[in-house]
Amino acid sequence: MPQAISLQGLMLKLTAYFMLLIGSVLAVGVLQPELLSVMPFGGTDAIEVAGIEVDRESLLNSKGQSKSTGEAAGRSAPTASQIGLVGMFLAFSLGGTILVMLPITWTYIATKREIGYQRNFVRALLVLPICATTIVLLIQDNLALAFGLAAMVAAVRFRVSLREAIDGIYIFSSICVGLAAGIGYLGIAIIMAMFFCYTNAVLWGLNFGQNPIDDARFAKKSAKLDVSAAPASGTQQFPHD
């Protein structure tokens, strides 16, 4: 089991990571400025990056008649380079959510280690923004898809058991990162993650909002964990044949 990290260690780890992340983006902008066009930092989407001509309106016009085939024939099929640009944009968008969520999960693990946390919840924080980004990329400004998605989510009706209110805030931060990546503003998500992580780390280090009742409950829970983790005493050992 990994050792608990102190406030100073967490702050140094977060600072080094954010400096490396932001420095890498700046280095790409200086050395390979053309790559910035396929990175989700300018508020664009995959279609605009690739320059593919599409009709974002409904397939039927206001009179209920289909659009003329001449307009459809005038649009050329996407080229291989355009498809490659779309793939790079999607890779940067989805991969960027993981890079932004890593320090948030580190902060969650450090601040919750004393009272315990669920391993699957930490993994969910990393995976959730990937789903949120994909949803935003699919919906864009299509109202019909938005209502269809809401209906499917209501049909699935999945539930997540949260132990404390702060767990819901971490889930909300994960959704925010996914939404930012989906609309092409991952840079804002990085700044949000910085303030989110540092604020939680400082509040944890200062023990802000300390409550004696909670302290007693956490101490009792910690004692139970220590007892369950300790090897059973008084058990008879039999030699192996």
pLDDT of residue 225: 58
Each residue of 95-132: pLDDT tens digit? 999 999 999 999 999 988 877 778 888 998 999 899 88
The gap from C-alpha 230 to its chain's centroid, in whole angstroms, comes to: 36
The whole-angstrom separation of Cα 185 and Cα 198 is 21
pLDDT of residue 213: 67
Cα pseudo-dihedral 97, 101, 102, 104, rounded to 10: 170
Residues lower than pLDDT 50 in the chain: 1, 56, 58-67, 69, 72-73, 232-241
pLDDT of residue 63: 45
